Structure 1
Amino acid sequence: MTRTRRLHPAWLVAAVAFVALVGAAGFRATPSVLLHPLHAEFGWPLATISAAVSVNLLLFGLTAPFAAALMDRFGIRRVVAVALTLVAAGSGLTVFMRTSVELILCWGVLVGLGTGSMALAFVATVTGRWFVRRRGLVTGVLTAGGAAGQLVFLPLLANLVEAYGWRTAALVVAGSALAVVPLVVWLLRDHPADLGLPPYGATEVVPAPAPAGGAASRALRTLRTAARTRAFWLLAGGFAICGASTNGLVGTHFIPAAHDHGMAETTAASLLALIGLFDIAGTIASGWLTDRVDSRLLLGAYYGLRGASLLVLPSLFDDAAGPNMLVFIIFYGLDWVATVPPTVALCREYFGPAGAVVFGWVFAAHQIGAAVAATGAGLVRDRLGEYTMAWYAAGVLCLGAAVLSVALRRARAGGPPTQVGSGPVTRPAPAGAV
């Protein structure tokens, strides 16, 4: 009698997480298509509107380590469902706003807290609990969900803004966030032990740990321990530059910068979405490489190539998307968040079972860098009338991040150099298990 091989539920959990991450990325990217419409209607300076984006980016990062700890306390499903509800509230309430303070509260605080709870620490938590084999690859695929969010939402929202106004786009975001909640409640599971199964690639069922109280104190305690290490600061410094050069600068200001050169906003939004398309391929490939190549070398290469591309970008802007700009879009897209899988792997290597929470703090540094760049580039544009100096500064910083990455040392033989917390050890299953 032939035994039927059953798909491991870890893949279903990963699929639901991917959908949630697609939504989170699309919701977070929405303000980039609203900068000029809000400026035109309310007369707010771009630096003021960019400040709301900065608050969003900052909370997106600072929420991540606490969200990872809250997932340990209350479960992945509850935290993600509440996060989507916050996004819906923040986006929906913007249709009633009249002041820039309300913009900051809605798009900055509510949407920032919601999307931050579904940030990359969520990826680290899912892969850490559900996968032993294929962790790098699955991390790459889930991270690519962010790129898919841009791909799906940005052209759609840009066209909605052009045809029906920014309020319609805001309501579409709110409705989309609420639509994902039932899927999360129905299908997202917290631990493989809840189903009586081992993680994918393991042979033993690992009992689900008891809910950990004091999520905030645990996150802060983990930060205090990790901050005593050289590895943490090198990873956090490089990732802060990563955030400044992606979400903060290109993600927020590429569309208005292209518009300054006569390009239609819908065309610029499509180019930004195209970055997302190639980012899917680049991030999945990076996950595959992370399982095979030293993550320190990967990060050094990624940051160095990104810096070189940003130094060239100011000469590529025109009123149409020429061949050179398309080459930049393809190249930059492949590199956009390819940094995530090796960074997650290094957090796990250096900090063991607490790697997901430590990565949450490293990701917080990413978003601090993004927030500084979002506001800083807006100020550069307001003061100088163009973005050129912002692109050059980001390029130089990326070259510095490459140096920080290759300066990382390997963990000591026999275990991570800083063991923050403890956790079960699982044994890999034979190759070929599904």
Structure 2
Amino acid sequence: MNKWKLHFGWYVVLASFIVLFFNAGARYAFGVVFKPIIMEYGWGRGLLSAVFGVNMVLFALGLLVVGKLYDRYGPKWVLLISTLIISLGFILVSQTRSFLGFFLSYGVLSALGFAGTSIPLVSTLVSKWFERRKGLATSLALAGGSLGHFALVPIVALVTQKWGWRSSFLGLGLVMFVVNVLLILWVIKGDPWQLGLKPYGMEEEGGKVILSDESYGLSLGESLRRSSLWFFSLMMFICGAGDFFSTTHLVPMAQDYGISYIQASKMLGWYGLMSLFGLLGAGWLSDRWGCRIPIMLTFLLRTLLFLMLYLYKGSWSFYLFALVFGFTHLVTAPLTPVLAIKLYGPKNLGIITGLINTIHFIGGGLMAYLGGIFYDVFRNYQLALFLMSFLSGIAIFSTYAIKDKGEKI
């Protein structure tokens, strides 16, 4: 009977799936409440986008701190404290009546909470429970983010339409607190050794556990002296810029051209579902073509999509943008550590991928902010769309330039 007993690692995968479900739903719901907040306060889009930009930058920097805290204290305390912070932030957002209060509760508190309940930490947690099927387990956990984006964004839109955006923030804050705390206390463990278990699929030979060799690899300083890391970072900066410009401004932009609030919100929800297919397809494509080709194809699609939306703005073009761009949204997520380990080795993978992900989210915060500023100045998003099409083209060449001693990557 023990042969058929489900390994505890799969329970950790399920718990991680649920944590990311609410994390992603809460993060991407910002695009849905964007206009309702502006309508209540009378702020410009640039000012509200600045709050989101600060949130993204602090989130990016918080990832570096969270990684160190995870290594020292394990996931339970990091996840628990982060859940308390993000829940408090969302509840305070629902009660604030001033720009300063909104800035501190969403721009600062929520950002720090997001950092401790996000994909990088959860991916690390899941990977410790698996020696075999690690890619499958990680992909299943990350799928929670895509499905949370798909399911919760339209729900937030409906709640906002009926009871207001404050009710949406209050509900998300309370639900995240209850669900995450229960999972952290009852399910999530730092590694299998805490329960006297081995990682799933770990085999033994002659009484010795077989582990992969993680003793080789470049230091961060050595990696920074290679042009590949700079091209890699530039590509990820542009990737983040496209991701968070789109998720922040797609709904208000569609509304500007006569699409209803609920319909535009559904577009953002479908965007999230399509990201799941991109996430799952990225690993399959990289096994056959290497990492660079799927990433280059991603940016080719983005170049054309931003150009299409620059030229044509109707229901069909917004839907096409949401579906196809959504498919590209998470392509780099599973490929970043794979590409980094091929280029720089596993020894210092955490700090190198931490730097790359930080640059990615800083790009996201900056372009989300600039999108709002461009709108306030020109009363449209044309310059932002043209800029993102141009930058996506640059990212194609930047990805192509990621080479290391002729090795196929």
When the two structures are superposed, what TM-score results if normalisation uses the length of structure 2? 0.90
Matched-pair contact (CA < 8 Å) for 1:91–1:170: yes
Equivalent positions of 1:242-391 (< 5 A) are 242-247=239-244, 249-318=245-314, 321-322=315-316, 324-349=317-342, 350-391=344-385
Structure 1 residue 54: Cα displacement? 0.6
Matched-pair contact (CA < 8 Å) for 2:56–2:362: yes
Distance 1:228 1:63, change over 3 A: farther
Structure 1 residue 105: Cα displacement? 0.9
Distance 1:54 1:3, change over 3 A: closer
Matched-pair contact (CA < 8 Å) for 1:81–1:184: yes
Distance 1:159 1:409, change over 3 A: same
- 1:171-219 Cα offsets, whole Å, 9 max, x none, are 01111211222112211111122233332333148799xxxxxxxxxxx
Residue 203 of structure 2 corresponds to: 203
Residue 403 of structure 2 corresponds to: 409
Structure 1 residue 387: Cα displacement? 0.5
Distance 1:357 1:387, change over 3 A: same
Count residues with an aligned counterpart.
Answer: 397
Equivalent residue letter for 2:359: A
Matched-pair contact (CA < 8 Å) for 1:76–1:189: yes
Matched-pair contact (CA < 8 Å) for 2:203–2:210: no
Of stretches 349-358 and 82-91 in structure 1, the one that deviates more from structure 2 is: 349-358
Matched-pair contact (CA < 8 Å) for 1:29–1:251: yes
Structure 1 residue 258: Cα displacement? 0.6
Matched-pair contact (CA < 8 Å) for 2:85–2:113: yes
SS in 2 for 1:177: helix
Residue 130 of structure 1 corresponds to: 129
Equivalent residue letter for 1:274: W
Structure 1 residue 155: Cα displacement? 0.7
SS in 2 for 1:400: helix
SS in 2 for 1:36: helix
Cα distance in 2, alignment partners of residues 135 and 411 from structure 1: 28
Structure 2 residue 391 is the aligned partner of structure 1 residue 392: no
Equivalent positions of 1:147-158 (< 5 A) are 147-158=146-157
Equivalent positions of 1:21-40 (< 5 A) are 21-40=20-39
Matched-pair contact (CA < 8 Å) for 1:92–1:174: yes
Equivalent positions of 1:164-203 (< 5 A) are 164-179=163-178, 180-203=180-203
Cα distance in 1, alignment partners of residues 389 and 144 from structure 2: 25
Equivalent residue letter for 1:342: L
Residue 214 of structure 2 corresponds to: none
Structure 1 residue 225: Cα displacement? 5.5
Distance 1:19 1:316, change over 3 A: farther
Matched-pair contact (CA < 8 Å) for 2:203–2:209: no
Cα distance in 1, alignment partners of residues 106 and 82 from structure 2: 14
Of stretches 186-195 and 348-357 in structure 1, the one that deviates more from structure 2 is: 348-357
Distance 1:411 1:189, change over 3 A: farther
Cα distance in 2, alignment partners of residues 351 and 105 from structure 1: 39
Equivalent residue letter for 1:233: W
Cα distance in 1, alignment partners of residues 145 and 186 from structure 2: 22
Of stretches 68-77 and 127-136 in structure 1, the one that deviates more from structure 2 is: 127-136
Q: CA RMSD in A?
A: 2.5
- Which blocks of at least 5 consecutive residues in structure 2 are unaligned? 212-217
Residue 14 of structure 2 corresponds to: 15
Distance 1:101 1:293, change over 3 A: same
- 1:2-37 Cα offsets, whole Å, 9 max, x none, are 763333322221221111111111111232222222
Cα distance in 1, alignment partners of residues 221 and 29 from structure 2: 34
Of stretches 135-144 and 292-301 in structure 1, the one that deviates more from structure 2 is: 135-144
Identity %: 28
SS in 1 for 2:380: coil
Matched-pair contact (CA < 8 Å) for 1:227–1:233: yes
Residue 230 of structure 2 corresponds to: 233
Distance 1:138 1:65, change over 3 A: farther
Distance 1:206 1:80, change over 3 A: farther
Distance 1:191 1:352, change over 3 A: same
Matched-pair contact (CA < 8 Å) for 2:251–2:265: yes
Matched-pair contact (CA < 8 Å) for 2:55–2:106: yes
Of stretches 369-378 and 57-66 in structure 1, the one that deviates more from structure 2 is: 57-66
- 1:200-250 Cα offsets, whole Å, 9 max, x none, are 333148799xxxxxxxxxxxx975564343333222211111110012x10
Residue 218 of structure 1 corresponds to: none
Of stretches 25-34 and 260-269 in structure 1, the one that deviates more from structure 2 is: 25-34
Matched-pair contact (CA < 8 Å) for 1:136–1:290: no
Distance 1:3 1:252, change over 3 A: closer
Residue 88 of structure 1 corresponds to: 87
- 1:326-351 Cα offsets, whole Å, 9 max, x none, are 33332222111111111121223324
